[in-house]
């Protein structure tokens, strides 16, 4: 692993009620007088981890992290009501205003890259930079690749466990089959499917499979929110108006300094999406890591992200 910054604790933690139903947990770490940056975690439903703080120079950055609706320490846990892309975009703005931040850099990977694009295209005047990793634009071809057919050709062993809870006659539409079970009234069915769904992603996230990561993804509390919220977003096509909405709206953010970091062998969010975003947005710096998959913890991706945050701290 490249040289991460030393572990630090937040200097501030709080909760913000963003609707009658939802309250989000947030934290700030680093330098209270530093350059503001907000980290948008993956999933949707993944929550934040303490190690994320170590990608940012604590002397230069005022780092804001929060758990999106329904996951991590936000409440209610695994809740699907009032949980859409645009609810989250609004939450980011409410949090920015709550913390009296005028503008900030936006950092997001995987689903966090989706949300970063949606937020910055909605509020471009509030973004001073974008650091994106593992590009995902929630299009049908991306969902079909990972959840229906494509990634299964590379990880057939992990795929056999992913399909196990679904009867053969329903496997021609895995998203719908999973959604029906993840929203079932039967808690046992929900948990079995949540673990299978989550472990599939944990099994495929790194170039070299990581048993510890798979165990984390199989944790009951984590898997329940992760699988339910992901499947909810995916079955609803990300709540976007059009399939290519994030690509079509690149003009809104073309002027914002940006870097795109992508693992060449990313199976979860295949490189075609990063490439298509790069072609639509050549002004953004495009960095391909030749020996990496999806995870921000992989050495090449980790190094590129730290180099990016160091560079953006001094912009």
Rg of the Cα atoms in the chain: 18
- Which 3 state secondary structure label does DSSP give 226? helix
Find tokens 């995902």 and name the residue: 136
| Number of C-beta neighbours around residue 93 at 10 A | 14
Contact, 4 vs 21, CB < 8 A? no
Cross-sheet strand order for the sheet of 104-109? 12-17, 23-30, 61-66, 35-40, 104-109, 127-133, 258-263, 285-289
Q: Which residues are tagged catalytic?
A: 110, 266, 294
Using CA atoms in the order 150, 168, 195, 183, what is the torsion angle rounded to 10 degrees? 110
Residue 276, sorted as left (phi over 0), alpha (psi -120 to 50) or beta, turns out to be alpha
CA distance linking residue 197 with residue 165, whole number of Å: 10
CA distance linking residue 212 with residue 202, whole number of Å: 9
């Amino acid at each position: 692993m490249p040289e991460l910054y030393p572990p630090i604790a937040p200097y501030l933690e709080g909760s913000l009620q963003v609707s009658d139903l939802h309250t989000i947990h947030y934290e700030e770490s680093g330098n209270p007088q530093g350059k503001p940056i907000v980290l948008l975690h993956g999933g949707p439903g993944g929550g934040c981890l303490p190690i994320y703080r170590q990608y940012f120079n604590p002397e230069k950055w005022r780092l804001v992290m929060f758990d999106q609706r329904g996951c991590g320490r936000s409440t209610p846990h695994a809740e699907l009501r009032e949980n859409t892309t645009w609810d989250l975009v609004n939450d980011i703005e409410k949090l920015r205003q709550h913390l009296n931040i005028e503008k900030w850099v936006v950092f997001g990977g995987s689903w966090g890259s989706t949300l970063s694009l949606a937020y910055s295209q909605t509020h471009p005047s509030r973004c001073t930079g974008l650091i994106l990793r593992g590009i995902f634009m929630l299009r049908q071809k991306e969902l079909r690749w990972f959840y229906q057919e494509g990634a299964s050709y590379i990880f057939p062993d992990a795929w056999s466990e992913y399909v196990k809870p679904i009867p053969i006659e329903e496997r021609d539409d895995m998203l719908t089959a999973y959604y029906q079970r993840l929203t079932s009234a039967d808690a046992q069915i929900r948990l079995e499917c949540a673990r299978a769904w989550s472990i599939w992603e944990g099994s495929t996230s790194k170039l070299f499979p990581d048993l510890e990561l798979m165990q984390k993804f199989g944790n009951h509390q984590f898997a329940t929110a992760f699988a339910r919220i992901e499947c909810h977003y995916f079955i609803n096509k990300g709540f976007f108006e059009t399939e290519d909405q994030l690509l079509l709206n690149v003009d809104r953010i073309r002027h914002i300094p940006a870097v795109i970091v992508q693992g060449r062998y990313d199976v979860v969010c295949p490189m075609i999406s990063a490439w298509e975003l790069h072609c639509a947005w050549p002004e953004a710096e495009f960095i391909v890591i030749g020996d990496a998959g999806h995870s921000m913890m992989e050495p090449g991706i980790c190094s590129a992200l730290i180099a990016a945050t160091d560079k953006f701290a001094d912009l």
